[in-house]
Amino acid sequence: MNTTMLEVEDLTVKIGDKTVLEDINLTVKEGELTVIMGPNGSGKTSLALTIMGHPAYKIVKGKIILNGEDITNKSTEERALKGLFLVFQNPVEIPGITLYSLITAAYNKRQGKTELTKTMPELQEKIKIEAKLIGLKQELLEREINIGFSGGEKKRSEVLQAKILRPKYIIMDEPDSGLDIDGVRIVADIIKEFIETKRSVILITHYPRVLQYIDPHQVIILYKGRIVAKGGKELVEKIDKQGYQWLENKSN
């Protein structure tokens, strides 16, 4: 039996007293692209952060299973080491740490090295090459993470981390928002390459434009914290034409 997948089972999540997700069921298989859409405030980022184990999101019902293992109560770090990675919708600023040193430390951790190796010329070279391909200026690698970065530069720096660390499961929370047209193409190419190398991608987006370049295996619509529709690419086209109002009666 192939258990290489991420499964979300009957998940209900609260922040404080507010229920942000209700009865979510989702299976993400190896080598597949799952697209999650939904209006602002419908729970997309909450789902991404819950899967990553953010402590503010309390799971009151259900489980998260990764490769057959229940990870519902595992820490974010353990989840990351097991292959989960999140490209943040709103990347945080990290004073005092450069992008280069962050990627090096995370890379080493994944290789099972506890100490930060000082000189890693090969990795350094790889980071430089990938940064160039992603359209991220070299000087940003040496600057404090996200401090003074433009919106698009922040997104590109997140995508660079994903490209170097090559997680098995990657959740991208609106990687295309704020990106110029070349940036969107780059993100689409990366998603394609991840799928072709048997990784799984969960793409949260408001725009069908990335999907001009790649077909999703499944499309899920969140509305008021619930999954109200599941389908294929045609669902993205329908949302693009009609918006979300037609889903209102399905959310009750």
Ligand X SMILES: Nc1ncnc2c1ncn2[C@@H]1O[C@H](COP(=O)(O)OP(=O)(O)OP(=O)(O)O)[C@@H](O)[C@H]1O
Nearer to ligand X (CB atom), residue 141 or residue 171? 171
| CA atoms within 13 A of residue 29's CA, in its CB half-sphere | 6
Q: According to the binding rule CB under 6 A, does residue 45 interact with ligand X?
A: yes
- Nearest distance from residue 159's CB to Mg ion, in Å? 17
CA distance 147 to 154: 9
- Nearest distance from residue 39's CB to ligand X, in Å? 7
What is the total count of residues that contact ligand X (CB under 6 A)? Answer: 13
- Nearest distance from residue 224's CB to ligand X, in Å? 9
Which of residues 18, 114, 119, 121 is near ligand X by CB under 6 A? 18
In this structure, the number of other CB atoms found within 10 A of the CB of residue 166 comes to 15
* Residue 56 interacting partner from Mg ion, ligand X, none (CB closer than 5 to 8 Å by kind): ligand X
Residue recorded with tokens 């009609």 = 242
Q: According to the binding rule CB under 5 A, does residue 157 interact with Mg ion?
A: no
The residues in 63-92 that bind ligand X, with binding defined as CB under 6 A, are 89
Residue recorded with tokens 């299976």 = 27
Q: Which residues of 203-232 are buried (b: 16+ CB within 10 A; e: fewer)?
A: bbbeebbbbeebebbbbbbbbbbbbbbeee
Q: According to the binding rule CB under 5 A, does residue 45 interact with Mg ion?
A: yes
CA distance 186 to 197: 17
Binding site for ligand X (CB under 6 A): 15, 18, 20, 38, 40-46, 56, 89
